Amino acid sequence: MKTHSLLPAALLLIIATPGLAADDEAAALCAEAEERYVELFGSASEAVEDAEIVLMYKYSFCPAALTVKVGTTVRWVNVDKRTSHSVLLKDGSEPESDRIFPEETVEMTFIAPGPVDYLCGPHWETQNMIGMITVDP
């Protein structure tokens, strides 16, 4: 029976796709965020020398996970057109940042090694807007 032999292959496809699609979507979104950054600031975010840049865009942090050396300053830059965001360390060791409006930035310097989970105050719950920084010694 041909229908029975086709079914497993179809199921496999459905199961295999979601993970990949999510990664691809995140990569595409972050590429778009970088384009916005270049549009706004005239050069690539990688060209910034005094900080590591994390973009805030469409309810995402780009990159969502970042590894830095101890003593590094991380600068979050809102490249959205309308939405404001914030940075809130999950462990509560720092007060939540002010609302960061489009084209505004906020920065933090990480002086202790370890993982730092953080959230966007207004959007972590509804949009899963979360990020992580690993501070290497």
Chain residues in the site for Cu ion (CB under 5 A) = 85, 120, 123, 129
Of 110 and 118, which has the nearer Cβ to Cu ion?
A: 118
Of 79 and 114, which has the nearer Cβ to Cu ion?
A: 79
Of 36 and 123, which has the nearer Cβ to Cu ion?
A: 123
DSSP symbols for 59-122: TEEESSEEEEETTPEEEEEE--SS--B--EETT-SSPPPPPB-TT-EEEEE--S-EEEEEE-TT
User: CB 38 → Cu ion: shortest distance, Å?
Assistant: 21
Tokens of 55: 């973009």
User: CB 104 → Cu ion: shortest distance, Å?
Assistant: 13
What's the start-to-end Cα distance of the chain, in Å?
61
Of 55 and 129, which has the nearer Cβ to Cu ion?
A: 129
Distance, in Å, from the CA atom of 120 to the CA atom of 89, rounded to the nearest integer, reads 9
User: CB 64 → Cu ion: shortest distance, Å?
Assistant: 13
33: nearest Cα among 60, 6, 69, 70 = 60
Distance, in Å, from the CA atom of 80 to the CA atom of 56, rounded to the nearest integer, reads 7
User: CB 82 → Cu ion: shortest distance, Å?
Assistant: 12
